[in-house]
Amino acid sequence: MKNTLTESTGPEQTKSLAQWLTYLESIHPSTIDLGLDRVQQVAEALALNFSSITVITVAGTNGKGTTCRFLEQALLCQGKTTGVYGSPHLLDYCERVRLNGRDADESAFCAAFARIEQARGAISLTYFEFGTLAALLMMVEANVQYAILEVGLGGRLDATNIVDPDIAVITTIGLDHMDWLGDSRDEIAIEKAGIMRQGGIAVVGELEPPATLINFVAQHKIDAWWANDDFSFQVGDDGQWQWENKGKSLGQYATPQIPMQNVSTALAVLSRLHLMPPTDKLATLIKTVAVPGRRQQVASSPDVFVDVAHNPQACALMRDWISEGLQGRLHIVVGMLVDKSLSATLDELNQIEATWYTGSTHGPRGLSGKVLKQHLQPTQQQCAKAFDAVTDAYLAARQCAKKHDRILVFGSFLTVADVLAYHRNSSIQ
């Protein structure tokens, strides 16, 4: 039976979204508290019911957001109704939930938070768990046909995992969040495999899956499609590419705005669900689907690109596209969080000749630009400059860059958000 977001008579009904978010940050002793028991209890109190919704759960070190966006757009172009949950947001908390392609309203979040506050009783929830339950509640209320859930951290113990997926998707497996997930790809793979269900179906986009993942799939009798074995993509000399699945090939497509590997993974999911868009719509999707903060160009003369890459695997991929067609010099603005693999991430860009600008990030996980600069290679440090804020580093890069140069901003969602906010509030094009 579906829920209804009824009005509350309590004082929580008068809170604004900003007030709710401040409150949510204060009610749990830790930011991350992995485990499903508490959030499952509240979900049961809310009587959340996904029996009539096809659930696609997407885990992975990188590529989750772009894969979710492509799936969403592919479903919408076929007249399906969708709900998408992802995190973190860039500029507006409402970005975390999209219903039929549009960000949810602040009022919908407030109503959901009020319902959850009533239902949880004495159960403590983290900021992320509260947001996850709100997203699930809004999707049920909207009666969407398809729910696309982006896993926040790992998989097995992430709050999204209280919902059984109809299909589990793993995009990539790299080294990130090692304090929580383990020190090796083998350990991390097991955590991400936790979104799979005994005898269920899955799609794995990782090109080199660890043995632990392969064994998990076999032991749990999961019907999985694997990148390279069951589906793949080939790029021609002219830049056109085609997708192959079970011996069949699709199209000659233009280069997408998001990584081809993620498009390929999304196409495998659509194929498994028998929801592949018509040929003409698919060609348009591949050419046009983009995600804010991922390979996003925000200015020209000089060209400025922002990317939320913040781990070695993502930066290796970024290294392969950022220098394409570069006529002048590259200027790199970076700000990272203290709990990331700083040296390993920056080392992926060692072979690129560039001028570096390190900016400070703030908050409980913030890292100063001066400390970050020390994680660059000695030759890079010689011409690098450290700044107290990401926007200061960015403005310095703009001042130094010539018309045909290129500026790259990366390292964290917070870093990209600072630059996007600056552009939103300025006249720079």
Strands (E) across 15-128 are located at 54-59, 82-85, 97-99, 102-103
The whole-number pLDDT of residue 107 equals: 95
User: Domain 296-424 belongs to what architecture?
Assistant: Alpha-Beta Complex (3.90)
User: Domain 11-288 belongs to what architecture?
Assistant: 3-Layer(aba) Sandwich (3.40)
Quick one: how far is CA 275 from the chain centroid? 23
Question: Measuring CA to CA, which residue among 80, 196, 95 is closest to residue 147?
Answer: 80
Domain segments of the chain: what residues?
11-288, 296-424
In sequence order, the β-bridge partners of residue 55 are 147
Task: Give the separation between CA 27 and CA 12, rounded to whole angstroms.
Answer: 14
Which tokens in the block code for residue 228?
Answer: 């390279």
* 3-state DSSP assignment of residue 314: helix
10 CB neighbour count, 10 Å cutoff: 11
Phi, psi of 387 (to 5 degrees): -135, 160
Question: Measuring CA to CA, which residue among 34, 70, 36 is closest to residue 205?
Answer: 70
Burial class (CB in 10 A: 0-12, 13-18, 19+), 211: exposed
Q: Are 109 and 159 in contact (CB under 8 A)?
A: no
User: Which segments in the chain show pLDDT lower than 50?
Assistant: 1-10
Write out pLDDT tens, residues 325-351.
888 999 999 999 998 889 999 999 988
Indicate the pairing of strand 231-235 with strand 241-245: antiparallel
Angle formed at CA 413 by CA 284 and CA 182, multiple of 5 degrees: 105
Question: Measuring CA to CA, which residue among 160, 226, 154, 146 is closest to residue 192?
Answer: 154
Task: Give the separation between CA 277 and CA 75, rounded to whole angstroms.
Answer: 8
The whole-number pLDDT of residue 350 equals: 87
CA atoms in the 13 A half-sphere facing the CB of 199: 0
User: What is the DSSP code (8-state) at residue 12?
Assistant: G
Task: Give the separation between CA 283 and CA 252, rounded to whole angstroms.
Answer: 9
The whole-number pLDDT of residue 176 equals: 63
Q: Are 90 and 293 in contact (CB under 8 A)?
A: yes
User: What is the DSSP code (8-state) at residue 277?
Assistant: P
Task: Give the separation between CA 368 and CA 387, rounded to whole angstroms.
Answer: 8
Q: Are 356 and 385 in contact (CB under 8 A)?
A: yes
Write down the pTM of the prediction.
0.90
Task: Give the separation between CA 247 and CA 271, rounded to whole angstroms.
Answer: 13
Write out pLDDT tens, residues 299-312.
999 999 999 998 89
Q: Are 83 and 99 in contact (CB under 8 A)?
A: yes
Strand-by-strand arrangement of the 354-359 sheet: 296-299, 303-307, 406-410, 330-334, 354-359, 385-387
- Written as one string, the DSSP assignment of 214-252 is HHHHHHTT-EEEEBTTTEEEEE-TTS-EEEEETTEEEEE
* 3-state DSSP assignment of residue 84: strand
